[in-house]
């Protein structure tokens, strides 16, 4: 069991993914295992500037956020330069370009690229 802030963070993530999240499916390219999770998905279109400028923000790229424990092996596969794809239910199929861990260590952010344009 974590501290009260970690518990609150996980609860809020679960609430927001349940209400406005999307179902996602990843088939591991090495094991063919199909993994599913409820994720945050952002595909913003307008360009916006944020200050300070060292904040990682790519307003024109689709981004998926998921919690550690979901999609086990995805970060490692992408870090090993394997071609991985994610299907976002009702939206489409995306290549996973990179996966980074957020400051909290438990939230992962996958930068995506549409598989079909």
Full 3-state SS string of 40-101: EEECCCCCCCCCCCCCCCCCCCCEEEEECCCCCCHHHHHHCCCCCEEEECCCEEEEEEEEEE
pLDDT of 54 > 60? The answer is: no
pLDDT value for 13: 84
Q: How many domains are there within the chain?
A: 1
Contacts of 43 (CB under 8 A, 6+ apart): 62, 63, 91
* Bridge partners for 92 per DSSP: 88
pLDDT tens, 55-112?
Answer: 555 567 899 999 999 999 999 999 999 999 999 999 999 999 999 998 888 899 999 9
pLDDT of 24 > 60? The answer is: yes
Q: Are 18 and 40 in contact (CB under 8 A)?
A: no
Domain that holds residue 53: 4-114
State the CB neighbour count (10 A cutoff) for residue 81. 6
């Amino acid at each position: 069991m974590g501290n009260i802030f970690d518990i609150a963070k996980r609860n809020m993530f679960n609430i927001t993914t349940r209400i406005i999240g999307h179902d996602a499916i990843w088939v591991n390219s090495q094991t063919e295992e199909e993994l599913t999770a409820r994720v945050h998905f952002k595909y913003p279109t307008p360009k916006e500037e944020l200050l300070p400028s060292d904040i990682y923000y790519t307003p024109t790229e689709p981004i998926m956020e998921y919690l550690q424990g979901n999609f086990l092996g995805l970060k490692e596969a992408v870090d090993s330069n394997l071609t991985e794809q994610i299907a976002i239910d009702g939206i489409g199929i995306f290549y996973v370009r990179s996966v980074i861990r957020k400051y909290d260590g438990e939230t992962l952010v996958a930068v995506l690229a549409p598989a079909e344009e």
